[in-house]
Each structure stands twice: as structure tokens, then as C-alpha cells.
Amino acid sequence: MGKDGRYTLTVRHGSAVSRQRMQTLEGAVDELRSKAEAIRSEGPLRKVSSLRDFEPGQQVHARLEISTGGLLRGRDAGVDVMGDGSLVPFSGGIRRTQLDPGGSKSAFDAVFEALAKKR
């Protein structure tokens, strides 16, 4: 964790990659929500045909991830914005695990909870 911020939000949208550092988890999740909603507002992706057909819901439109830093002790969680506009929350860096927000919680709530847990 550098002195620039405790949390790093990385947004991978198409070929563009941006990073932003924030001091609080609440601020990082708020920015994650804002950027994800902006990407969703672009509308759905088109069906892609290659060796097989990929429907919009099978394509990742953008990946947004918050990292607490640190190679061995850091924690990562974020959301994949799918081509149909759905959000898939996940935790983990190299080995991702899909999070289940459960009940009336949002994907963003699941990300917050995953990062707020003490290791």
C-alpha cells in the first residue's frame, strides 16, 4: 500500500486500462459503482460470431476491480459488467470466486463485504 491511497480501483474497459487510488473503502466502492453504471449506460454489446456464437450475456464488457495492495496479503474484489448489462461480483485476484450478494444486497454490497473482512 503506497502513500497515494489504500485502495486501487482498476478499470479494464475494452483496450483501455485506468487506475485510481482512494483512501477509504467506501470511496472506492462508490467510484466502482459510478464507473460500472456509466459502462452499463452504453447499452448492450452485440452478439459475436467466431468459431461459435457469444451472446451479450456471455461477454465481459468491462472488469472493475478494487485491490488493497500487497502481493501476498492484499485482497481483490470487483465486478464484471457483462455485455447484457448484468453485474457479476467476484473476489480474488488470480483465482476468482463469484460472490453471491444474496437477498436484497447488490453486487457492490458483496464487493464491500468481501474487502471489509479481516484476514
For residue range 2-51, what is the model confidence (pLDDT) as tens digits?
A: 445 699 999 999 999 999 999 999 999 999 999 999 999 999 999 988 88
Evaluate whether residue 2 is within a structural domain.
Answer: no
Residue 17: predicted pLDDT: 97
Evaluate whether residue 110 is within a structural domain.
Answer: yes
Query: Distance between CA 49 and CA 96 in Å, rounded?
Result: 27
Evaluate whether residue 47 is within a structural domain.
Answer: no
Query: Distance between CA 4 and CA 97 in Å, rounded?
Result: 28
Grid coordinates of 78 = 470487483
Average pLDDT of span 71-85: 88
Evaluate whether residue 1 is within a structural domain.
Answer: no
Residue 22: predicted pLDDT: 95
Residue 103: predicted pLDDT: 84
> Is a pLDDT exceeding 50 seen at residue 71?
yes
3-state helix, strand, coil in the chain (%, to 5): 25, 35, 40
Residue type, 91: S
> Is a pLDDT exceeding 60 seen at residue 119?
no
Residue 67: predicted pLDDT: 94
DSSP 5: B
% pLDDT > 90, the chain: 70
Total domains present in the chain:
1
Average pLDDT of span 72-100: 91
The average confidence (pLDDT) of the chain is 90
Evaluate whether residue 76 is within a structural domain.
Answer: yes
Domain that holds residue 22: 7-42+53-116
